[in-house]
Structure 1
């Protein structure tokens, strides 16, 4: 089997990332040499690859679904928003300046060459490449400089399927409209549709799907059900109700309640997914001081803009609530940007985030932070709370220690992070994915809060993630026309697909 496929979406968060992961896993389970590819991602959820670069977390997860180590080859361009109008640009895993929405357009022609060459190279290294679009191809105002949707599909002659989220409503109009606004040469590559997150009896949807095929000449290749057990890493958004995961009931009498502050520019918020994999651990994102009341553990997660998010923490009243929580002896954990907020000062002499200046931290740890121009990337290992741990680092801030007790001792003996009993902090992402370390943290939380909570000795976060990927593959196998998928991957889009004129066209 050889070929490629592009999964586009009617909107952001329509299900592209999970569908790509599911198709990749389905193929890999059949022995196919398959790899993921996303030409351009926009996300502050990223990981550090073994080849030393930075890519979107969704592509790292898709690589795992394929049985591959994450690589910069799977996501050559990553945009990390620092504000509503500017983003840091990461090319081949390394920072390559910042852009506004308008100035980015000027870079697109050169980036199109980079991503098309990267896709071509990947196709020589693997039998099948499953590509993920970005946003929606219906954003026709961006089509002239598109490098991730139909621009990529046209450059690589990629057959394309469009997925829509029926849970949002109007999915048939979204699917039809996405196709109808495309120019004819783009439409010629769109070969079918997928409906995502359907609840109820599929027979009720059949008349609509039949009408959609009559209108467009393209079949719906399957209807994926709403899977309540699916909590795999979110790429574009957090759960609408703020809840994370589907934890099993507690082993003791009490739940542990974790409140994760949803910072305006939160990055790598998926760090807390591992907590929600534990029985009896309820994890929820919060945005108001009142939501910290009764929390056993408060988490300050990573941030793309630490200084401005710290200012928001103060203006929202959450800083006062966080300090009161910590000073009452209740557990607090800061990760990366959230850890930097815990120190004495944050100095940005080069204006890495905004205007140069020094800013007061929360003062909960004896260390300061200075921002370096170059980003610190790494996959360190060490020891924390008596457990061997591994993680990854993505930050500009460098800690200047003034006697802070470390949380981690790196493999070369260097101190890292903060451990002052109820207040913990680290620059390392992924620490909570280490099962032994996570158990030690939860044991400490239970002891400090007096909860009757027992940690599971059998929970494996890696196994839980594997089970999620297998669930995605099962959904693909059971609910999609996999024979049609194979045909598209191997033979491309069928010739002579109907051109659908946009509404109002003569």
Structure 2
């Protein structure tokens, strides 16, 4: 078979990423050579490919679902917000500019060409490409410059399935409104809908499903049930609201409590997924000093705005709480930079030299060139494979070596993302944390994070196979949308 499909959503965090991954896994199990694609991604969770390109972490996960090594063509454009108004533009895995919304327009034609060229290369190399949209296709204020949703569908002649999160409520209005807000040419690409995150008996939904099909003339391809524990390299910090505790039960062991500081520009918080999968480990995201009191381990995660987020720590009283704290503290990438004595930044914040928290013997200098690498190393005899994404270069002047960084007493720092996914290293680190925290905790030697990720991808494939009309999806991928009725544009509703 040959073809492509665009998975859009009624909102951000509707489930586009996981549905795309599920379809990729389902097709790969059928022997189809399938690849994921997202033309433009706005996310602070990213990954480094084998050849040193930076792409969205969700596309790396989708590549794994398809049984592939991720490449830059799967996410040719990545926008990394550094503030409410400015984002770094990463094109084909490399940063090319830092722009605001108005300046972005100057890049639009170049980015559009790059996205379409990447999609063409993937379609030539694979049987099927499953594309993921961005946000909602009905963001009419952005439609003129859109290259990720209906702009892509029109340019590449893609059929579109719209995913809606019924757990939020209003899914039928969102389906109808999404189609109605589009012009006729865009509407022609909308083939139908998928209901996501449903709790209960599907029979209760049947009247609504029938009505939305009658009103829109488009099919509902299925209803995906709510399934706990599918934290799969999400790209949106909105998802943090639903992941305040660990995915697995403690099984009666002494609990190890981890508090992750939820920075305003938190990045690569997927680093904590491996901890959350450990039986007996509870992971919480926190924003106040009081929430640190009962933590056995505090984590300062990555940040797209190190100096600004450090100022936020001081404004919230968290900096003082961390300095006064007795117990294990881990800084990862931007968090490691904050723990240093000094940060010299004329690149990201342009703030010049600012004092760090002074908890580790290190100094940071930001450089224009971004470090993108897949380093390997070890700690206490345990091999570690990781990845690096940073402008800030840390120079260590003392302490005990810890991966590429250092340790001073109870405080650890590294620039390496993904280190905790290495099972033997993670267990050794947690043993050290438990000793320092005075906890009776033993990490489960049977926990393999790579296997758990594969199980979750298989679970997504199972959801697609069991709950979606896969025959109809195959026809849609191969033959396209076909004739569909036009809904009256929003301006003429009720006229």
- Contact 1:251 1:455 (8 Å CA) reproduced: no
Note if 1:489 corresponds to 2:442.
no
Q: 2:376 aligns with which of 368, 376, 381?
A: 381
Could you tell me which residue of structure 1 aligns to residue 287 of structure 2? 287
SS in 2 for 1:13: coil
**Displacement of 1:242 after TM fit?**
4.9
1:333 aligned residue (326, 330, 335): 330
Structure 1 SS opposite 2:435: helix
CA-to-aligned-CA distance 1:284-328 (integer Å, 9 cap, x gap):
100111111110000000000000000000100111111222xx2
Give distance in 2, aligned partners of 1:77 and 1:58.
13
Moved more, 96-105 or 82-91: 96-105
Aligned partners of 2:245, 2:390: CA distance in 1, in Å? 25
Residue 247 (str. 1) matches residue 248 (str. 2) = yes
Question: What secondary structure sits across from 1:248 in the alignment?
Answer: coil
- Spell out the pairing of 1:23-422 with structure 2 (5 A cutoff): 23-236=23-236, 237-250=238-251, 252=253, 254-325=254-325, 328=326, 330-348=327-345, 351-408=346-403, 416-422=404-410
Answer yes or no: is 1:476 the counterpart of 2:477.
Answer: no
How far is the alpha carbon of 1:453 from its aligned partner? Answer: 1.1
What is the DSSP-based 3-state SS (H/G/I as helix, E as strand, rest coil) of the residue aligned with 1:154?
A: helix
After TM superposition, the structure 1 stretch with the greater mean CA deviation from structure 2, 351-360 or 49-58, is: 351-360
Q: Is the 8 Å Cα contact of residues 21 and 62 (structure 2) preserved in structure 1?
A: yes
Question: Offset at 1:248?
Answer: 2.5
> CA contact under 8 A between 2:58 and 2:232: conserved in structure 1?
no
Question: 1: CA distance between counterparts of 2:439 and 2:398?
Answer: 31
* CA 244–58 in structure 1, closer or farther in 2 if over 3 Å, else same: farther
- Within 1, Cα distance between the matches of 2:381 and 2:264? 34
What runs of 5+ residues in structure 1 fail to find an aligned partner?
A: 409-415
Counterpart CA distance in 2 for 1:437 and 1:421 is 19
SS in 2 for 1:243: coil
Q: Are 1:242 and 1:286, in contact at CA under 8 Å, matched by a contact in 2?
A: no
Q: 1:112 Cα deviation (Å)? A: 1.0
Q: TM-score, normalised by structure 2?
A: 0.98
Q: Give the structure 1 partner of residue 488 of structure 2.
A: 501
Instruction: Output the CA distance in 2 between the equivalents of 1:239 and 1:189.
Output: 32
Mapping for residues 427-438 of structure 1, pairs under 5 Å: 427-438=415-426
> Which residue of 460, 464, 483 corresponds with 2:448?
460
Q: Is the deviation greater in 447-456 or in 293-302? A: 447-456
Maintained 8 Å contact 2:77/2:91: yes
Instruction: Give the whole-Å Cα distance in 2 for the aligned partners of 1:190 and 1:245.
Output: 37
Distance 2:197 2:240 in 1: 14
Counterpart of 1:411 in structure 2 is none
Q: Which whole-Å CA distance do the structure 2 matches of 1:115 and 1:25 have between them?
A: 23
Structure 2 unaligned residues grouped into runs of 5+: none
Aligned residues of 1:10 and 1:174 also touching (Cα < 8 A): yes
Residue 413 of structure 1: aligned partner: none
On the 8 A contact 1:153/1:189 being kept in 2, the answer is yes
Distance in 1, matches of 2:488 and 2:181, equals: 8
How far the C-alpha of 1:367 sits from its partner, in A, is 1.0
Deviations 1:347-366 (A, max 9, x none): 01xx2112341011111111
Q: Which residue of 2 aligns with 1:412?
A: none
Q: 1:447 & 1:250 partners in 2: Cα distance? A: 20
SS at 1:376 equivalent: strand
Classify the secondary structure of the residue corresponding to 2:230. coil
Match of 1:451 in 2: 439
1:244 Cα shift?
A: 4.5
Aligned 8 A contact 2:10 2:137 in 1: yes
Which portions of structure 1, spanning 4 or more consecutive aligned residues, are displaced by more than 3 angstroms? none
Tell me how far 1:378 sits from its aligned partner. Answer: 0.2
The count of corresponding residues between Structure 1 and Structure 2 is 492
Following the alignment from structure 1 to structure 2, what is the Cα–Cα distance between the partners of residues 308 and 503? 41
* Counterpart contact for 2:61–2:232, Cα < 8 Å: no
8 Å Cα contact 1:46/1:54 also seen in 2: yes
Normalization by structure 1: what TM-score?
0.96
What CA distance in whole angstroms lies between the structure 1 residues aligned with 2:227 and 2:122? 32
